[in-house]
Amino acid sequence: METVAAIPKYNLSEEQEKKLILREYRALLRCLKPKLKPGDKELVRVAFEMAADAHKTMRRKSGEPYILHPLAVARICVEEIGLWVRSTICALLHDTVEDTDITLDDVERNFGSEIARIVDGLTKIANVIDVNASQQAENFKKILLTLTDDPRVILIKLSDRLHNMRTLESMKREKQLKISSETVYIYAPLAHRMGLYNIKTEMEDLAMKYMEPDTYKEIARKLSETKRERTRYINEFIRPLRDKMEKAEFDFDIYGRPKSIHSIWNKMKKKGVSFEEVYDLFAIRVILNSPPEREKEDCWKVYSMITDEYTPSPERLRDWLSNPKSNGYEALHTTVMGPQGKWVEVQIRTKRMNEIAEKGLAAHWKYKEGAADESRFDKWFHQIREVLANQDTDSVDFLQDFKTSFLAEEIYVYTPKGDVKMLPVNSTALDFAFAIHSAVGARCIGAKVNHKLVPLSHKLRSGDQIEIITSNKQKPSEDWLNFVVTAKAKSKIKDALKEEKRKIAEDGKYFVQRKLEGMGAGYNPQNIEILADFYKQPSTLDFFYQVATKSIDLKELKEFHVLGDKLEAPKPQRPPIENKSESTNHDLAKKDAELIIFGESSDKIMYNLANCCKPIPGDDVFGFVTTGKGLTIHRTNCPNASKLLANYGHRVVKTKWAKNKEISFLTGLNIIGLDDVGVVNKITNLISGEMKINISALSIEANEGIFRGSIKVFVHDKEELDELVMRLKQLSGIHSIERYDTDTPS
């Protein structure tokens, strides 16, 4: 497998190449030997010959014969994932249908429908019809559709990706970056989710080698420089534990294992520390050979021996024995204070658990007893199937949702009766309600977490017990989408909103029909299109909906002409919309018009200011068409801006402020400075006395020589606010001033 990449690139004769291919094929057969049943060897040979013949004229970028790639992928499947003969055949054929003259029918004729189905799942979608869809996302969606029928598709795909990562050297730089970022974004988390820790780690390390080569080399260098001293420390740490376990007559293996470069780098970034300050550069692993009925008991006995010798950190105990992860991982992790005052992580597991940790799903099947036990993998597949059934999701959104819903670490929470539910990290009470049942989610008004009342958006933590409170009057609303993370909750909320919109739009439809017939114009698709276009609505459904919610009052219909039964729009467009020749710096929407907020005709537009960022005149803003609320105005640097602009560009309207000194806006400032006599007096004097700005609220706390103040003031626009900030900064002792949104002072 690795040997393939190490072959010199161009100087092999045809004879040597043949020998090399044969050698790799025989190595594959040797790995398969314990698993071969009568007739299997012949099938593998047919697959190998078929692939070798199909790929005979093809070479990889490194110059070596292409067939070495499918052989290497098949070997990873067998040796590193623990798959068997049928998967080997699929791995050998995985590129034939896409790249050669072999068809799926040929595969089915030779090997049957099951293998043909898996090979089809591995074949990329050649061209995506939808221009907006990302090909990567579409291909991934296809793989997942097959995954729920046959998980081997994913396991072979991961082997294929791992071999590509191992042989990325000969690719162009941009290709290396594309493949590496894809790997980190989706394939490594997927390997982790399938329980393949070694493969996940290697993928992340290889991706880092290409994406951040300098950091990678630096950490690798430091790891090798400190290796001797680390080995010495590990031996010192292990010695007393080994003695104790030998006395207790355990059959065990204990060793130190270095952490991956990628995980060390993550620690450095997350904790903001240097390499020298990362304490867990390695973990100690204890592998016990225990009979199934004694596994848990033995692991806890060893845990107590370790914690007798070294003091544990109570909050760092991870018990995945009582509650295995959904990818099947079982182990006991603890962090203890070792010699020289260093924290050391210790992982305790049995041989069976270790095999599941390394071979993931494949080992999980091997140990699965009795079909009655629906494994956690099955539950996971069932959840994915549920989401995939809802096919109208855009592929890129789908990929993002899939990542947050199915690839995140999970938390364990409990129903009032004590049943365990598994949810991705960052799930809220509302996600839990939808996990119970769609109808419970749709009617949820709040929850009790550990008997305390909490809002829908409350983030759950492992171990919480949740009771959902529902009301028949409750309906899903648009802002729910801002805080749910599970794909099921998102898709059910979107469905409900669409349905609700459709119902409301019916009233609008009826109203428009009466108006048109009253004018003698026909109620037909052409006329409705003309109206939707005139009122700048993205679809006729939106138009009817806006009419029903009185956001559009159809006053301008008087100015329309009727020719026969056809409507003709008036020449000058609606007064609230002015065409502007100059474009703003933030050309946020490809519209030729700008909405003027607080202009003379602004009262004709129903709008509100977003609570998430509290814009004031003069801020860079954009308008966002919100279901049911008309237009919402957001600052362009609002925390939600990039999400709204990226996902819903068609609902964004360019917006501009008009000067209006009559209206003031509430905004807030946080001030930090040195506590000094008369500081409050100086601040209030400047704001109310000199600048004549109204103060709505003022609170100042002093502590150990530092004061922190928060002030809410009414300003007319951003210019006035900027001037206030500038003049406050000139006061002596003021250290920093920051604007905050008046609902959320820091």
Residues labelled as active-site residues: 98-99
Distance CA 285, CA 265 (A): 21
Distance CA 466, CA 415 (A): 5
322 sits in which H/E element: none
249 close to 289: Cβ distance less than 8 angstroms: no
Dmax (CA) for the chain in angstroms is: 102
Distance CA 157, CA 706 (A): 58
Long-range contacts formed by 500-504: CB under 8 A, 24+ apart: 500/475, 500/476, 501/541, 501/545, 501/627, 502/541, 504/545, 504/548, 504/549, 504/628
What are the φ/ψ torsions at residue 666 (nearest 5 degrees)? Answer: -85, 130
DSSP state of 459: B
3 state SS of 324: coil
Distance CA 26, CA 299 (A): 40
Buried b (16+ CB within 10 A) or exposed e, 574-604: beebeeeeeeeeeebbeeebbbbbbbeeeee
Residue with tokens 């003698």: 520
Strands 311-312 and 282-288: unpaired
Read off the tokens for 137.
């996302």
Cα 722 to chain centroid distance, Å, stands at 37
Q: Which of 170, 209, 180, 196 is nearest to 77 (CA)?
A: 196
Residue type, 525: P
Distance CA 117, CA 97 (A): 12
Read off the tokens for 342.
């260093």
Q: Which of 136, 142, 115, 27 is nearest to 79 (CA)?
A: 27
Buried b (16+ CB within 10 A) or exposed e, 230-256: eeebbeebbeebeeebeeeebebebeb
